[in-house]
């Protein structure tokens, strides 16, 4: 008796259209065959970030290989605009947690930014990309957040697309609460507000010279996340949740597609 497993979703690179055959590689085949114990004629969902979400039937599966046939479109592709999260790289496990949860929270782009106090030199982009794909498969997104290679803070700021606002998580200054900053962003545009950038510093925080330079920029909005000093990953996820709740796609009126 074939089964449909709607919670089993795989991201594939190939084009998705009716009757197209999709072959998936070892890791995904192992997941389907050994972890989810799926067999031929079982059905799962596929998406590629371009062609929507499709119901696909397994035509052959082993622990190292799997072929599927795309049968019908379940959801049409639509844009999933969200905040850009710029963050100073942090240690491996908290960074895994950060990128996974940011994906679930609807981030559009992840951008590692090297600041003076950043202690993590190397960023494993392949591992980061694998984490965001897995999180996107799990949470039902139709898009995969873009993961940028790391860049220095000054280059990041110089390339920031004004007038898109950049919410600077500024733990030291007495600045406005994030709810007020988000309300200010929301009043800037007649339609659904353009999701901002959210900038979070490293474990050691921003250097004062960095913070002063950021505060001087017209498109930067220094923001407080309350009286306590949050870990970088906590600050990033708290800011993302605030945006989605007050101005983002947790409000049905702001959902696209
Ligand atoms: N400089 C901090 C200290 O004095 O211990 C440590 C930095 S904190 C662990 C990492 C980052 O999270 C900060 O650079 C800031 O971007 C953000 N952050 C933490 N708490 C915050 C708060 N209450 N308000 C705004 N941003 C905060």
Give the DSSP H or E segment for 133. Answer: helix 125-139
Residue 1 has pLDDT above 70, yes or no: no
Task: Answer whether 171 contacts ligand 1 (Cβ < 6 A).
Answer: yes
Contact of 159 with 166, CB cutoff 8 Å: no
CA atoms within 13 A on the CB side of 81: 14
pLDDT score for 101: 98
Among candidate residues 256, 245, 232, 247, the one with its CA nearest the CA of residue 91 = 232
DSSP summary character for residue 146: E
pTM: 0.94
Which residue has tokens 């949860």? Answer: 101
The reply to whether ligand 1 has any atom less than 6 angstroms from the CB of 225 is: yes
The answer on pLDDT for 131 being more than 90 is: yes
pLDDT digits (tens, 9 = 90+) for 46-61: 999 999 999 999 999 8
Local structure of residue 49 (DSSP, 8 states): S
- Ligand 1 atom closest to Cα of 227? 23
> Ligand 1: does its nearest atom lie under 6 Å from the Cβ of 226?
yes
- 2 pLDDT above the threshold of 90: no
- Residue 84 has what pLDDT? 98
- For range 77-106, the mean pLDDT: 96
Sign of CA dihedral 74, 78, 83, 84: positive
Do residues 233 and 98 touch, judged by C-beta distance below 8 A? yes
User: How do beta strands 43-47 and 53-61 pair?
Assistant: antiparallel
Gap from CA of 169 to ligand 1 centroid (Å): 7
| pLDDT at 43 exceeding the cut of 90 | yes
Residue 235 beta carbon below 6 angstroms from any ligand 1 atom: yes
Q: Is the CB of 222 under 6 A from ligand 1?
A: no
> What distance in angstroms lies between residue 201's CA and the mean position of ligand 1's atoms?
7
Q: Is 72:18 a contact under the CB 8 Å cutoff?
A: yes
Q: Which two tokens stand for residue 93?
A: 């496990």
Buried (b) or exposed (e) across 131-162, using 16+ Cβ within 10 A? bbbebbbeeebbbbbebbebbebeebbeebee
Residue 246 pLDDT exceeds 90: yes
C-alpha 208 – ligand 1 centre gap (Å):
12
pLDDT band at 175 (very low <50, low <70, confident <90, very high): confident
pLDDT over threshold 90, residue 204:
yes
- Alpha carbon of 209 to ligand 1 centroid (Å): 15
Length of the chain: 257
d(CA 251, CA 177): 20
Q: How far is the CA of 100 from the centre of ligand 1 (A)?
A: 20
What pLDDT is recorded for position 256? 66
Least confidently predicted of 38-47, 123-132, 173-182, 204-213: 173-182
**Ligand 1 contacts CB of residue 89 (under 6 A):** no
| C-beta 205 within 6 A of ligand 1 | yes
- Residue 170, ligand 1, Cβ within 6 A: yes
């Amino acid at each position: 008796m074939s089964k449909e497993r709607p919670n089993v979703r795989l991201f594939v690179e190939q084009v998705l259209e009716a009757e197209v055959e999709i072959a998936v590689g070892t890791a995904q085949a192992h997941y389907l065959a050994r972890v989810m114990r799926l067999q031929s004629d079982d059905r799962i969902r596929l998406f590629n970030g371009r062609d929507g979400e499709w119901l696909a039937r397994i035509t052959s599966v082993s622990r190292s290989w799997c072929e599927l046939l795309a049968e019908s479109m379940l959801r049409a592709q639509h844009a999933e605009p969200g905040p850009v999260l710029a963050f100073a790289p942090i240690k491996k496990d908290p960074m895994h947690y950060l990128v996974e949860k940011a994906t679930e929270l609807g981030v559009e782009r992840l951008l590692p930014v090297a600041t003076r106090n950043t202690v993590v030199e190397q960023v494993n982009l392949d591992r980061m990309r694998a984490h965001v794909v897995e999180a996107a498969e799990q949470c039902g997104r139709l898009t995969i957040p873009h993961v940028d290679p790391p860049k220095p803070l000054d280059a990041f700021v110089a390339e920031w697309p004004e007038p898109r606002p950049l919410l600077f998580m500024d733990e030291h200054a007495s600045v406005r609460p994030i709810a007020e900053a988000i309300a200010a962003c929301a009043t800037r545009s007649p339609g659904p507000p353009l999701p901002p950038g959210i900038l979070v510093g490293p474990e050691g925080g921003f250097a004062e010279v960095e913070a002063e330079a950021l505060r001087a920029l017209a498109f930067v909005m220094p923001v407080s996340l309350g009286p306590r000093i949050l870990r970088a990953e906590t600050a990033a996820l708290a800011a993302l949740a605030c945006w989605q709740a007050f101005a983002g796609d947790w409000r049905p009126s702001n959902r696209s597609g």
